[in-house]
Every structure is written in structure tokens, then in C-alpha cells.
Structure 1
Amino acid sequence: MWNPLSWVMEAAAIMAIAMAHGGGEGWDYQDFTGIVILLLVNSTISFIEENNAGNAAAALMARLAPKAKVLRDGKWSEEDASVLVPGDIISIKLGDIIPADARLLEGDPLKIDQSALTGESLPVSKHPGDGVYSGSTCKQGEIEAVVIATGVHTFFGKAAHLVENTTHVGHFQKVHIQKHISSLSSYVSQCFLCLTLKLNLAMILLQVLQSIGNFCICSIAIGMLIEIIVIYGPQQRKYRVGIDNLLVLLIGGIPIAMPTVLSVTMAIGSHKLSQQGAITKRMTAIEEMAGMDVLCSDKTGTLTLNKLTVDKNLIEVFADGVNQDMVVLMAARASRLENQDAIDCAIVSMLADPKEARAGITEIHFLPFNPTDKRTALTYTDAAGKMHRVSKGAPEQILNLAHNKSEIAQRVHAIIDKFAERGLRSLAVAHQEVPEGTKESLGGPWEFVGLLPLFDPPRHDSAETIRRALNLGVSVKMITGDQLAIAKETGRRLGMGSNMYPSSSLLGESKDNFASVPVDDLIENADGFAGVFPGKYNSNHRKALIQIIVYFLIIYVPSEHKYEIVKRLQARKHICGMTGDGVNDAPALKIADIGIAVADATDAARSASDIVLTEPGLSVIISAVLTSRAIFQRMKNYTIYAVSITIRIVVGFMLLTCIWEFNFPPFMVLVIAILNDGTIMTISKDRVKPSPSPDSWKLSEIFATGIVLGGYLALMTVIFFWAAYKTHFFPNHFDVRHLHGDLHGPPTHEESKMLGAAIYLQVSIISQALIFVTRSRGWSYTERPGVLLMIAFVIAQLIATIVSALLSWELAGIKAIGWGWTGIIWVYSIITYLFLDPIKFAVRYALSGRAWNLVVDKHTAFINKNDFGREAREAQWAAEQRTLHGLQSADMKVEKHTFREINTLADEAKRRAEIARMRELHTLKGRVETMGKLKGLDVDAINSHYTV
């Protein structure tokens, strides 16, 4: 083990074997051997557990290995990039990290980001026939390519191989610096996956280890200094006696197991997260996930199922001579039949046979979707040899193509808004003839054919998950590219609120509506933003940003919407999580405290993220939050325990030495340390209750709690020693033998050994029992510990009890005290334990204003909106709900129950709304009424003309 705590323990070993040899005394072999054994035990456990953690990390990283779409045996399949061979046909599309050197086949040019290889800051265009390099990222386009090199034979692999085998030594290299760097680089490249976990782990634990380690070392140093002054000053005691007492403080005060416990806890927690569908790439993300209070979530695929459906009866037709079936067919022709996205799959599945999309036509050219054009297009020739072009995509983009845009724009927008009010997205379809007969020609005028409504139903667990998130103190903000009306409708259905704004409010374009609200307040208090795209701002946006600078004194101008939201939330001291799946989400994922790549995210998004989800939905994230808080709670519990034990050992034994010149045998401190370490190792798998609110390292709280608890335990040890050493209380009342017969003289050699055994048992019992107090937020006896922790505690205390009661061990300097004294010490320790919980609550009350077990459940993450009419609206709404439910008036209520009543009424209202929504979506009557509303029909008039 290579850390300051182990260095201090190694110094203690040197002190035992070197400095103890003096004053006519022999070598202190037993203490030296015991310290070495303690170091070996901790090192062995650390090696085994960290090796297991390294293997687990390698297995996790293997699950994130790059994938590639490969054409084999005439079928497309997803394979690991490592199994590619030259000659394989692969598919490259937006967001993919190119898995091997390849040559592009027929298709449109790609935009490739080669900055990682060549240093070029801007994407470069690659045309059919050009080569692309492994490790570069596709920024635009879609094409097939043939693999020409893999592994060490790629451009990147050859460069790495050349660097590794360089033997030239320059003038500066003659001092061997470069040689060492090259050797280290080679080693790291071979062991990268296993070391990633440990390097990241060192980053998160470094500050905590340093702070707590420094505190413990300083406490021990102060205690040793006081002992040296007292022992060799007023007491004038022997040299060897002073060394032995100093060894007691050194051995007992150092939390030697802390690095191992924290690293093992983190590694085991990371493995548990992976089992829940969240693979941790950066270990610090676990700590940040525990403290996350804002989650910016995508709508599609995270809050919704990402399984689009189209109601053919609601399709709006704009072209003459075209019916709804023809609109679907044109949309299907503008879709891919292989490697489909969700929209392509929904459209093509509406056909009786997917092959109908290409029946009777010859495909000439397919334009894939890209974030700039926001549409796809197919150029084809029909059976008569005439060339046509169909396109589907965002309504605004398709509308801009139409030759009669001015005539139909009002109707198109009205239908889009009508769809959006019901939570339906719109997909537009257009058609044109290409009389020139070439795919490069512009063609004739575009005809706007129709609008299709797309419905992406919310996940069944999203509403409950959002409610759980709010109760956990995590504010969920919906960030979507859909229309504002769709976002509000989705928010209403999920119970997350409809306080949402268009992305223009971020850019200052809606200045008239939001002039009185600073942008930072708007972002912090919003439930979500609609029309948010991660693309670059245009010139109009830049002008708007200049206006923001003038009106709101903002000096930072980001280049992306999501990036902007995250930065402003972080500026308000929020720990912000961001979900994403596309290549353009990468900047926001990178800047977020916790970047979360959702299931089926692109390679670029995964590369930029901290956590990669293998399961869809928001519930995976909330489960990860709970698990992260449990992991963090285990580490926090141990650090409080470690500080308490250091104070308890240092203060307790220092007082015994300085007041009564009592010499506790150093070897028994080693026994206490070994048994404690064996017990405390199980805390990494302990059953804990996660914090109900975002948590983080609060060193002041850790030190304050540790000092008070440790000081109390030290005081109780001193009181017990005083009662056993300076009084006859226990022999007179419990008929046990005297541990100090002559109260006015020094104890005999045998009495000193018995006192050592008694103090050993008392310290051992209460020190290990302390972990049950620090691991609990409430009363320790109400929170059941883990089985392993309980078994380890019982075994350790069984050993300590037998050793004290029955074992007379000359080497260790103790003598059996019998079962009478053993029972007294157990009863005394239990009484001491009963006061630990109240002391813990008192400290927490003093620090936070209330004890942790008295914290009232919060129904919202944070509320600081400047809404001055809110109280009046809530009172009016509550009165309406009372009338609806037949409840008594507000005047008859006790004032302190008002908010509880409002919460109850809100839950009832939400439940009624959810029942109404389910009836609307899942009954024939509900669907008929919904279709009638969308068609603008008089539902009341037709109610009597259908039967269910």
C-alpha cells in the first residue's frame, strides 16, 4: 500500500524494532511482528479486492467496446469492432466512431472529424473512394465502406507502434527521461482498462484521504507530543516505557484500512450499478451522482418509449388526387428499409409488406437524415422511366420546399398545433418530379403532400419515476426538440409540471414575454425547454445573445442550447446530470457533472459521457441515483467512524498515561486494529439507507461528529478505568476481584496485566459497536445492518471476550480477568452505547438545525420561483377541490395542516387526471372522442350515435 497512512504505520514498525532497543531493554520483536502482520493483512485484502475490482472494471469496459454494423452472409448485424477483418462491408452513419481504416463506397460525401488523429479542428469532407481512419468520428452523412486495415495495421495503430519502438536517443533523452516515459507508455497501453478504475478512484478519494489522513496524523502527533512532554518531563519514566506508549497512539490511531475500504466500496458499488443497467466509465461520477439535484432529460426514448405509432385516420392530405394510403407510401419510400431509425420503422410498418416501399420503382439515390436539413429524400424512377423525388421530415423544412408555401402555411401550422395539443408530433411529406432525369438536378416544384401524426407514448413507469425523483430531491427538466405544446402535454401526462418555455427564451428572442425574468432564473425554475437543438447558433441568435449581455449582464456565450442550460445551472451551484444519445449532444454530456449516454446512444455520445445506460428509461437513472447514494453513504459512514476511533484512541490512552501512568500493551492495540479492520472491511457490502436528499462530502460534519463521538468514548473509557483503578465500586457491588487492591500505591505487575485485559475488552467492544451508530441516519437499532457486518462483529467480539476472560498471555502483557469482570464490561459498554445515538442527533442538530431523522419528506427538489400570485391561486384551487370532494371549509381547519391538505388534494387530483387519461387512451369511447376533437367535430352531437 502506497499512501501516507501506511507510511506512518511503517514508521511505527521501524520505531518498534529500532528505537525501542534502549534503556537496558531488548528488541521489541513482538510489536514489530504484529505491525508487519497488520500491514500484510491490509495489503493482502487490498490486493485481492482491488484485483477483483480491476477485473470487474475490465469486464465493464468490455461491454462498452466499439461496435460496428457489418454486412455478412447478406445480412446486417452488429458486431464488436475487434472482430472486423479486411474486406468486411460496414455501415457508417452520423455519430459513429469509425472502427477500422476503410474505403468509402458509393454514396454522398461524409463529414469526418479527424482531430484526434491529425489535429484538424474542423471536420473534413470524404467522398466515395476516399479513405477514412480508425478513431475518427462521423459528423454528417451515411455511407457504406469496405474495411482495408484493422488493429496495428491501421493509421492509428502504425503510429502507436512506431512510437513504442522508437530507439533514437537525443540530447535531452540522455538523462533517461524519455526512455522511462516510453516504457511507462507501453505498460499503460497494455494495462489501460484495469488501471482506469484505479486512476479515477484516486481522483475522487485523493482529497478525502488527504483531509482525513492529515487530520488523523495531526491528532496523533499532538497526542504523542503531549505524552513525550509528560512522560519524560514530570513523570521521569523510562525510555522504553515512553516508546511503548507512543506506539499505542501510532498503531491504534491510524485508520490503516481506510484506502482499502473506500476503494473496495467504490468498486463493488460500480459493479452493482452495471447490474442495474448503468455502466460507470468515470468513477468520480458515483460521488457526483449521489449529489445530483438537477437532471436534464431527453424526452424521446427516456421519458417515452421511442416506439412511434401513426394513426392513419388522422393523416391530413394537402395534394389533389392523393389519399391517406398514398401519403403513407410516399413517406415509406423516403425511409430506409435497413438500419432503420424509429421514424422509418414506424412508417414502413404501416405497409402490409415492407417491400411495397420499393415495389415498381428503381432507387437512384437516398439522402439520409442530418441535423441541418432535418429530412430524408429518395430519388427514384418509376416503371415508365420517369424520375421522381419524395422527401419526409420536419414540417418547417418540408414547408420551405413547397412551391405554394404562402397558400398552405396557415393551414399547416394550425394542424401542427392541433396535433401538438394532444402530444402528437408532425411529420411532413412532399413530392416532386425530376424531368431532367439526373439525381444532381434540382427538379420541378415541390408539392406538399400531407402531414402524419406521430405518437410516442410515455413509458409506463415515467410518472412514478419522476415522482420518486422529486421525493429524492432531484429536479427533472425535460429538454426536447419537439414543439412547446407537445412538451407541455407530455409534462402534464407525466406529472412533472407544464412550466416549460421555448428555446427562444434561452436566446433572448422572447424578450418581451420574459423581460422581467433573468435567464438564469428562467432556466433554474423551468420544468423543461422545447425546441432545443444542440446545433450551432445562427447570426440572429448571436444578435439575441448580445441583447442578453445588455439586459442580463451575462458574459459567457456558449455555442449550444443544452450546453448553455448545463452551464447556467452549474453556475447556480447545482450538480447537473444530462442525458443524450447523439453526436451533437457530446459537448453537453462532457460539460455536465454527470453525462449520461442513454441506451442505443451513438459512439460519440458514449465517448463523451460518464455513465452509459444499457437499459432504456428514466427509472434506470433514478435507481442509479439511489445506488450511488448508498455507495456514498457507506464511504461517509466509514470516514466518520475512522475519525471517531482516532480521537477515541489518542485522547483515551493519552489521558490514562498522563493521569495515572498506565501503560497499555502495544501488542493488544495491534489485536484491536486487526479485528477492527477485519470487521470494517464488510462495510463495503453493508445494507444502508440512502440519503433522502442529494449528498456530498461535508468534511466539517465528518470531523465534528467524529470528534464528539470519539471524545465521548474516550471519556467513558477514562471513567471506567477510574472506577476500576481508584475505587472498589465493582468488587463491592458485583463480587469480583480487585484490579487495584492498594488504592494509594501503584498496582502490582499482575494487576497491571488484568487492567490491560479489562481496558482491551472495553475498548474493543465499544469501538466496533460504534460502526452501527455511524452507519445509521436514525436510531441505530431500527436500521438492520448487513449480514456480513453482523457476523464479523460477533466473531471479533467473541474472540475479544474469550481472550480477556480466559487467556493469560505474557507476550501480549495481559492476564485473564474471568467472566465476572467480562459481564461487567459488557453491561458498561451497552450503557455507553445507548447514549451514542442521542449524541449523534445533537451534533447534527447543532450543525444543520435539525437531526437527520427528523427531516420532513420533501415533495419537490427545490422551489425558489418568484411567483407572487401563487398563494392566492393555491388557496382558490384548494377551495374548489374541497367543494368537489365535499370537504369542510378552510376556516374549520387548523392552520398548520394547510399544506398537508393541499398535498393530499393535489395527489387526488393527479390520480383522477391519470384515470381519465388512461380511460381516454385505452378505451374505444376515449379514442373516438379524441379523434373527434382532433377532427374538430361536435362530440356532444355525435355521442348518441355510436355504441360501445
Structure 2
Amino acid sequence: MMPASPAAPAVSAATSPPAANTAPAKATSTTLDSAAIEKKFADLKSSPTGLTSADAKARLAHDGPNAIQAHEESRWKKLLGYFWGPIPWMIELAALISFLRQDWPDFIVISGLLLYNAAVGFWQDNKAANALAALKKGLALKASACRDGHWVPVDAATLVAGDVVTVAAGEIVPADLLLVSGKYLSVDQAALTGESLPVSKRIGDGAYSGSIARQGSMTGLVVATGNNTFFGRTAKLVASAGSKSHAEQAVLRIGDFLIILAAALAVVLIGAQLWRDLASGAGWHWSEAGAIAQFVLVLLVASVPVAMPAVMSVTMALGALALSRQKAIVSRLSAIEELAGVDILCSDKTGTLTQNKLTLQAPIPFGTTTADDLVTGAALATQKQSTDAIDIAVLKALPNTTVLDSYKPLDFVPFDPVNKKTVGIVQAANGQELRFAKGAPQVIAALCGMGEYASGPQHTDEATAFFGKVDELASHGTRALGVAKSADSGKTWTLLGLLALLDPPRPDAKQTIAEATKLGLSVKMVTGDDVAIGSEIAHQLGLGEHLRKASDIFTKNTDPNHIPLDTARAVEASDGFGRVFPEHKFEIVKALQELGHIVAMTGDGVNDAPALKQADCGVAVSGATDAARSAAALVLTAPGLSTIVNAITEARAIFERITSYVYYRIAMTIDIMFVVVLSYLVFGFQPLTAIMIVVLALLDDIPIMTIAYDNVRTAATPVRWNMHRIISFSSIMGLAALAQSFGLILLGIYWMHSPDLMQIIPLNPHHLQTMLFLQLAAGGHLLLFVVRTRTTLFRPPFPSLPLLLAVLGTQIVAVLLCAYGILVPALSWPLIGMVWAYVLVWMVVMDGVKLLYNAAMTRREKNSTALTRPIAQS
């Protein structure tokens, strides 16, 4: 025998033959012989007549139902989790103190923000649970099983290992089966394995639960049910997958930083109060506890960024609305900032990079055959009503569909996995009976007397050319289909030629990948098809062609939760992967994440769901299954990957807006905390009341939500949370803001001690409190304008109109509150004007501080790069 090249990919279909004899890895179980099948029956204590009802009932009680059973954390527990943690504790403590002191405005506002944060998080988290529900929909509901020697319909959930069932065209395979009898079954398992075409099964092969029978009918022995099936393992991966977003980690670290700072300042406050009481000789009195509690409350409200989760959620929600206009639906808000930092994009091939439609490439005729004759011959070996992908491609390639009308169909021999060909018997217009065959190249070669299959004379030159062309096509990942003709009832056959079939790339895929590369992304192809097919598509798309077989990297003993370092590095170095199964996709994402990469994974099938959920940003492409959409954080509603490039650009803009807010929020928190403590320690003066701080939080943060519309300069490379820069830059800006605020207090105290100034404009401590309140309200928003860009604030990009209007409206409200004494002591218009002049001068000073910091950081980064650059590059 002279088989086709091992590199030639397999194509098995309902009525059409495989293009070559290479079977996909793991796509079908290793075919068992009759002895192995008998042993399997014996191992399961079953027989070809199935189980008895009593035996089936006992096994069902022992093994459990044939259903996905994944134990996830209860939703109530998840809900309570949003009230547990450093930031929630501090907010709850602030609410408790305000409740005990009966400061109802403080209590209502703080509690409201806490509940809002929990509600938003819980609502988003609930979406993830839908992935498992969508997977369950893929299971068969009914099955035909042999019980007590009779075929009876049963619920698929009651099937047990050892049952004997039938599977026919149009049915969902109800459990993992070993096919034990029947002639032929074509199974579509693309949603499970990622293979682009149905797979032909025969006796001794396996069939996966959840796959769909397209044609034929066979009997199978149930070998696994429920969570033990291939489908069940995929579902368990979905239930266990998922990683905490970098935004959540960043918020926790920011919260920890502020909480530690607040705790230290609270200790200083309490210690100072105790020292003053003891040093004055008055001694400690419990009446002092209320005053200290009041100060601690003010400090807590000032230190805890109660609105930060809410503002970030709303900002990302507004960003999600913008992404929806780009045909990208966000199902998990944290996906926005994750997408902005993605540096590796793992892309499914079939239907994502390719059209998932086989097309006929240029026909390769042999002898005197023309290209049109070759296609017509293949079409005559095809049933017109066939829904098979190969048959559809052949019929579409006909130069003129009316050419078939001149032939009268007499008989048709459908494809089977043994003969690996289809034969059409027709009568030509002149009455001559003709036979046309299409099938696996080696089978057609045998019909024509070529190769080791041949029983007749060898046609050496033609055989060499024929198999050489088959090997060439296989090396490019192209499926080959042989076509032959017989005019003497099949006694002798004439080779017509070869048809090359390929699932072509999407028209926009190459440009999209080029744009993704410009954005700093490394694109890795992940496909269930053969490596040769993936390599050819990668070549056409301009991707790296170093694809590896997934099973060569991940062994059966690989623990997805503990990927070896060598394995992770092998994944990182590869351009893509072929022969990939769900556990492989999951492991690929985990391996890259363990090396510190932020990973996006695109997909459309059930097989993609675990990796989509585990990825930092799972992207379900247009037309994806319910399971894939539910597991993904981003769902594309437009075909192709071009949408994801737009989404990445938009996500980076949103990330810039969020980081601007974080800089501003931390700096303002530091400013307020320290000005409260320093004023009390130095002057024994409480500069702000608790209600002032709560109102400040509302005035500062609610209008800031319009930052989602701000004009920003997007980064050319992936961006991620740089906690060192965030904390250092925010702290420096916070200290500069503190100098501004404390400077105002010093000026106010000097003013109150100057008779001449007091005669011009009277000033008392209550006025000073209001002045500081207005300075923080106005200076805070001006600080946002400073930190929102790395360049000077007098250069573009300038703030957007919505942000400017929101800030303007807020400042009008703040001025009116101060002028008319609403919630704060009233302040005269001259003092209001003086405060505004003060903060405008300081805005320019703060801008200078920012530029000095950025210049210093730029020099430091350059020096660091120079030190770590290889000697050869120096």
C-alpha cells in the first residue's frame, strides 16, 4: 500500500470521502477490534443486548445521573462576599460610627454607596454562572436504549455505563459511546474539538457526548456519563475557570495602601488626644471618647475611597456603551481594562480567522481532462440535495449548473469509511452509462491502477505526478480529493484529476492581524485542525508559522493549575497550536498567564468555553454558541476580528480615563487625610466636618463619571496597572495638594491673627472650614485636569465638553452651597473669589510638579533600559 503523505489532513463527511488518510488526533478514539470491544463489554458487565432495568437502576443510584454536576459557590455566599474585605470593612466601620453617633446624612450616603458597589459586582458576577447553564443545553434529552432485551425510549439523564443505545442522523449523542455495530455514522463534533468538518465513525470508534449525528445510524455502548464524559470535563473546566481581574487586584492594593495610611494616622490622632489630656493634668474622661470617635469618623470617611468602585463601574459601563457601538458587547465590565492590557491574543481558526466554508481551489486535471470536466465529474459523483460541506463546495464550483441536466441519475453509492469514496452512476445524453467517483486520493489512484492499491499495471509517471501533487497539497494544509471516470461499468477507470479544498481566510483577517501587531499584540493561532492546515493559513495571514501539536507540549500528566516552567516557555515561544482540545486551550491560557501575560482568547464553540472564561478577556466571536457567549467577557456581534482591534483601541482609551481618575482620587484622599490630621495636631483645629467630606465625595466623584467621554491619547502598546507609578505619582501629587490645602489654612490663621486684614474681611474658624471645603472642591477638579495627561495641561488632548460641563456645573453648585450656607457655614463672595484665585495659581504649580516627576521617571526608565540591554546591542 502506498498511503498519502502523513501530513495530509483528514476530511471525513457524511457523503463525501476524506481528502487523505490522516485521522485527527483524539478526534476519534483509537479504533478497537472485535476482541477489544468484547473486552469492553465484559469490563462494564454488559452485553450487546444491554442491561436489565434493575441493573440500570442500581448503577444510576451508584454513579448518579447522566448530567453535568458542577459545584459552584452559592450566589448568597457570593453576595455576602461583596461586604467582606478591607475596603468594605472600612466603609462599614465608618457607617457604624455614624450610626452610633446618629449622623444620619453620613450614614445614609455611606451605606448607599456600599450597597451600590455590592449590587453592581453581584450583577456582573451572576453573568458568569450562565456559562454552565448554556453548556447543559447541549446535552441530549432523550435516548433509545436496549433494556431487558427491548429497545425503549429513556431520558438521557438515566443512561449509565454499560447501556446500549442507538444514534441516528439529527440526534445528539447522549453519552460517550463506543460504537459496536452499524455501517456508518457521520458526527459533527466541531463544537467540542474545533474540527471544521464532520468526522466519519465506524465500528470500534468513539463518539462524544454532546456531538451531533449528521448522517447514518449506529449502535453504541455507553462508556462514560455525566461529568466523566468529554463534554462533562469541558463543563467542569468552565465551572473552575476564571481569574481575578487586574482591576480588582489594583483596587484592593490601593485600598490596602489607603487603609494602612488611615490606620497609622488614626493612631497618631488618638495618641495626640491622649497625650494632650494627660499633659494638661485633666486626665482621661470617657466623654473624650465621643470627640475621638468623631475625628476617627472624619478620617475614615476621608481615607476610604467609598465611591471608587462605583465610579470605576459606571465609567466602565459608559465605556461598554461606547464599545457596543463598535459591535462589541461587554458581559463583564472588568474585561475593558483587561482588554487594554492584553499582550497575547489566542485566536481560534475555524470561523474566526477563516470563513468556515470549504471552497474549491484551482482544479488540477490530469491527461486530456479540462478543469471544467474535472469539476463536472466530481459533481456527478455527488447528490444534489447533499448538505455535506465538501459536496456543497463541489456543486458551487460548477461552471454551469445546467450541465448536470444532460445526465440522468441511475444510482448512487454513498460514502462509507471502508471504501472512502462516492460513486455516481448516470446515463449520458447519448444513452451511454457512465460512472464517476470521487474520494480519498489513494483510493481513486487504486481504481485507476496506480500505486500499491493497484491490481493492474503501474502507471509510473502518472502515479509519481499524482502522489507528488497530493504530497504538495498536504504540505500546505490543503485537502485533496481524487476524481475518476469509468465508461465500462467500473471495469476500468480513467483519472480525471485532483480537487484542492481549503477553508479560506476571512477577507479582513490579514489586515486585522497586522493592525493587532501594530498595537503590540502577539497573535497565536489555536485550532483543532492539523498543524499543516494551521501553518498554511498562518502563512497566508502573515502570522508566525511555528505551530506545534498541542499534545507534544501538554502531556496527560500536566496539571492545569501548576504548569511546569519549561512547558509555559514552550507555549510562549510557539506561534500557534494544532490538534487542540478543550483542556489544551485551557492549559495554553494558564501557561501564558503564569508567565505574566494578559491573555485574550477568541472562540465560538463549546470547546472554547473553559479557555474563554479562564482568559483575562475571553472574546466570543460572531455566531458563537450560547456556552461560548456566556463564558466570554466580550461578545462580538459583527463577523471577523476587525471588531476586536477597534475594541482594544477603545479599551485603552477607557483605561487611560480610569487611571486618570485613580491618580486624582488617591491624591485627593491623601490631601484630605493629612490636612485633617495636621490641622488637628498643629492647631487643634478640625478643618472639615464629616458631612463636608461626604458632600465633597459626591461633588468630586459623581460629575467625574463623565470622564468616560474624555479625550485621551491612547497607548501604542498594551497597558496595565503599574502600582509603583500609581502610588508614587499619586502620593507626590497628593503631597503637593496637601501643601496647597495646608497653605490655605496657614493663610487663614494668619488672617485671623491680623487686625488689619480682619477689618477688611472678617474671618472666623467656621469660615476657614468652608474656605477649605471650597478649595478641595475646586482644587480637586483642577487637579484632575492636571493628572489626566502626561504633557502640560495647556496642550491637547484637552478635556471633552461633557467633562468640562460637568465640572463647571459642580463648581457652580459648590459655590452656591458656600455662598448660601447650605450644609456648610456661609462664606462671603470676596472670600469665594480669593479661594478661586488661589487654586488657579496652584493649578499651574501642580502642573509643573507633574512635568518634573514625568521627566525624572523617563530618565530612570532610560537608565534602567540601558543597564539591562545586552552587550551586543550597546
TM-score, normalised relative to structure 2 = 0.64
Q: What is the RMSD computed on CA atoms of the aligned residues?
A: 5.9
Counterpart AA for 2:578: F
Shift in Å at residue 577 of structure 1? 3.6
Shift in Å at residue 218 of structure 1? 1.7
Aligned partners of 2:135, 2:625: CA distance in 1, in Å? 11
Preserved contact between residue 344 and residue 522 of structure 2 (Cα < 8 Å): yes
Residue 261 (1) aligns with residue 311 (2): yes
Identity %: 30
Shift in Å at residue 255 of structure 1? 0.9
Shift in Å at residue 680 of structure 1? 3.5
Shift in Å at residue 667 of structure 1? 2.4
2:785 to 754, 764, 772: 772
Higher relative contact order (CA 8 A, sep 6+): 2
Shift in Å at residue 580 of structure 1? 4.6
2:214 to 95, 118, 142: 142
Residue equivalent to 2:813: 799
1:215 to 239, 257, 265: 257
When residues 689 and 430 of structure 1 are mapped into structure 2, their CA distance, relative to the original with a 3 A threshold, is: same
Residue 5 (1) aligns with residue 104 (2): no
Preserved contact between residue 124 and residue 331 of structure 2 (Cα < 8 Å): no
Find the residue that maps to 1:256 and give its secondary structure.
coil
Find the residue that maps to 2:345 and give its secondary structure.
strand
Over residues 788-810 of structure 1, what are the superposed CA-to-partner deviations in whole Å (9 max), with x where a residue is unaligned? 44333222211111222342x6x
Which blocks of at least 5 consecutive residues in structure 1 are unaligned?
19-27, 70-88, 100-104, 117-123, 146-154, 157-195, 438-442, 509-517, 537-557, 740-750, 857-863, 872-948
Preserved contact between residue 367 and residue 376 of structure 1 (Cα < 8 Å): yes
Aligned partners of 1:339, 1:579: CA distance in 2, in Å? 31
Find the residue that maps to 2:215 and give its secondary structure.
strand
Find the residue that maps to 1:234 and give its secondary structure.
helix
Counterpart AA for 1:36: F
Find the residue that maps to 1:823 and give its secondary structure.
helix
Preserved contact between residue 127 and residue 331 of structure 2 (Cα < 8 Å): no
Shift in Å at residue 761 of structure 1? 0.5
Shift in Å at residue 654 of structure 1? 0.8
Counterpart AA for 2:693: V
Residue equivalent to 1:360: 409
Residue equivalent to 1:36: 107
Residue equivalent to 1:451: 498
Residue equivalent to 2:579: 534
Find the residue that maps to 1:210 and give its secondary structure.
helix
Shift in Å at residue 752 of structure 1? 0.9
When residues 473 and 126 of structure 1 are mapped into structure 2, their CA distance, relative to the original with a 3 A threshold, is: closer
Residue 760 (1) aligns with residue 768 (2): no
Preserved contact between residue 288 and residue 575 of structure 1 (Cα < 8 Å): yes
Residue equivalent to 2:723: 699
Over residues 161-187 of structure 1, what are the superposed CA-to-partner deviations in whole Å (9 max), with x where a residue is unaligned? xxxxxxxxxxxxxxxxxxxxxxxxxxx
Aligned partners of 2:353, 2:169: CA distance in 1, in Å? 29
Over residues 629-655 of structure 1, what are the superposed CA-to-partner deviations in whole Å (9 max), with x where a residue is unaligned? 344444433333332222111112111
Aligned partners of 1:107, 1:780: CA distance in 2, in Å? 76
Find the residue that maps to 1:429 and give its secondary structure.
strand
Aligned partners of 1:603, 1:60: CA distance in 2, in Å? 8
Shift in Å at residue 672 of structure 1? 1.1
Residue 668 (1) aligns with residue 664 (2): no
Residue equivalent to 2:295: 245
1:329 to 376, 384, 397: 376
Which blocks of at least 5 consecutive residues in structure 2 are unaligned?
1-81, 141-166, 176-180, 193-198, 218-224, 227-238, 283-287, 452-459, 554-565
1:834 to 807, 823, 844: 844
Shift in Å at residue 244 of structure 1? 3.2
Aligned partners of 1:360, 1:732: CA distance in 2, in Å? 114
Preserved contact between residue 343 and residue 718 of structure 2 (Cα < 8 Å): yes
Counterpart AA for 1:758: M
1:14 to 87, 91, 96: 96
Aligned partners of 1:583, 1:256: CA distance in 2, in Å? 40
Counterpart AA for 1:473: G
Shift in Å at residue 229 of structure 1? 1.5
Residue 636 (1) aligns with residue 659 (2): yes
Aligned partners of 2:447, 2:329: CA distance in 1, in Å? 44
Preserved contact between residue 425 and residue 455 of structure 1 (Cα < 8 Å): yes
Residue equivalent to 2:482: 429
Matches within 5 A, 1:920-931: none
Residue equivalent to 1:73: none
More helix by share: 1
Counterpart AA for 2:661: Y
Over residues 220-261 of structure 1, what are the superposed CA-to-partner deviations in whole Å (9 max), with x where a residue is unaligned? 111111111223313769655444332221222211112323
TM-score, normalised relative to structure 1 = 0.60
Over residues 487-508 of structure 1, what are the superposed CA-to-partner deviations in whole Å (9 max), with x where a residue is unaligned? 679757x6x47x6346589969
Residue 790 (1) aligns with residue 804 (2): yes
Residue equivalent to 1:378: 422
Aligned partners of 1:649, 1:271: CA distance in 2, in Å? 33
Aligned partners of 1:609, 1:390: CA distance in 2, in Å? 45
Shift in Å at residue 614 of structure 1? 3.3
Residue equivalent to 2:703: 679
When residues 210 and 489 of structure 1 are mapped into structure 2, their CA distance, relative to the original with a 3 A threshold, is: closer
Residue 652 (1) aligns with residue 652 (2): no
Counterpart AA for 1:618: L
Shift in Å at residue 219 of structure 1? 1.5
Shift in Å at residue 474 of structure 1? 1.0
Shift in Å at residue 391 of structure 1? 3.6
Residue equivalent to 2:556: none
Preserved contact between residue 216 and residue 253 of structure 1 (Cα < 8 Å): yes
Residue 316 (1) aligns with residue 360 (2): no
Find the residue that maps to 2:276 and give its secondary structure.
coil
Aligned partners of 1:648, 1:361: CA distance in 2, in Å? 90
Preserved contact between residue 525 and residue 865 of structure 1 (Cα < 8 Å): no
Over residues 889-948 of structure 1, what are the superposed CA-to-partner deviations in whole Å (9 max), with x where a residue is unaligned? xxxxxxxxxxxxxxxxxxxxxxxxxxxxxxxxxxxxxxxxxxxxxxxxxxxxxxxxxxxx
When residues 672 and 592 of structure 1 are mapped into structure 2, their CA distance, relative to the original with a 3 A threshold, is: closer
Preserved contact between residue 334 and residue 392 of structure 1 (Cα < 8 Å): no
Preserved contact between residue 265 and residue 684 of structure 1 (Cα < 8 Å): yes
Counterpart AA for 2:518: N
Residue 622 (1) aligns with residue 654 (2): no
Preserved contact between residue 201 and residue 263 of structure 1 (Cα < 8 Å): no
Matches within 5 A, 1:373-412: 377-378=421-422, 380-382=424-426, 390-392=437-439, 404-405=450-451, 408=462, 410-412=464-466
Preserved contact between residue 92 and residue 98 of structure 1 (Cα < 8 Å): no
Find the residue that maps to 1:450 and give its secondary structure.
strand
Find the residue that maps to 1:109 and give its secondary structure.
strand
Shift in Å at residue 754 of structure 1? 0.7
Preserved contact between residue 135 and residue 627 of structure 2 (Cα < 8 Å): no
Preserved contact between residue 92 and residue 138 of structure 1 (Cα < 8 Å): no
Once the two structures are overlaid, the 10-residue window that deviates more, 209-218 or 229-238, is: 229-238
Residue equivalent to 1:475: 522
Preserved contact between residue 261 and residue 684 of structure 1 (Cα < 8 Å): no
Preserved contact between residue 68 and residue 90 of structure 1 (Cα < 8 Å): no
Shift in Å at residue 719 of structure 1? 1.3
When residues 376 and 43 of structure 1 are mapped into structure 2, their CA distance, relative to the original with a 3 A threshold, is: farther
When residues 778 and 559 of structure 1 are mapped into structure 2, their CA distance, relative to the original with a 3 A threshold, is: same
Find the residue that maps to 1:696 and give its secondary structure.
coil
Aligned partners of 1:604, 1:446: CA distance in 2, in Å? 49
Aligned partners of 2:264, 2:500: CA distance in 1, in Å? 74
When residues 488 and 634 of structure 1 are mapped into structure 2, their CA distance, relative to the original with a 3 A threshold, is: same
Preserved contact between residue 242 and residue 613 of structure 2 (Cα < 8 Å): no
Preserved contact between residue 699 and residue 810 of structure 2 (Cα < 8 Å): yes
Residue 229 (1) aligns with residue 264 (2): no
Residue 575 (1) aligns with residue 598 (2): yes
When residues 65 and 771 of structure 1 are mapped into structure 2, their CA distance, relative to the original with a 3 A threshold, is: farther
When residues 17 and 507 of structure 1 are mapped into structure 2, their CA distance, relative to the original with a 3 A threshold, is: closer
When residues 788 and 315 of structure 1 are mapped into structure 2, their CA distance, relative to the original with a 3 A threshold, is: same
Over residues 334-374 of structure 1, what are the superposed CA-to-partner deviations in whole Å (9 max), with x where a residue is unaligned? 66756857654442123333894996144453559xxxx9x
Find the residue that maps to 1:262 and give its secondary structure.
helix
Counterpart AA for 2:771: A
Find the residue that maps to 1:663 and give its secondary structure.
coil
When residues 431 and 58 of structure 1 are mapped into structure 2, their CA distance, relative to the original with a 3 A threshold, is: same
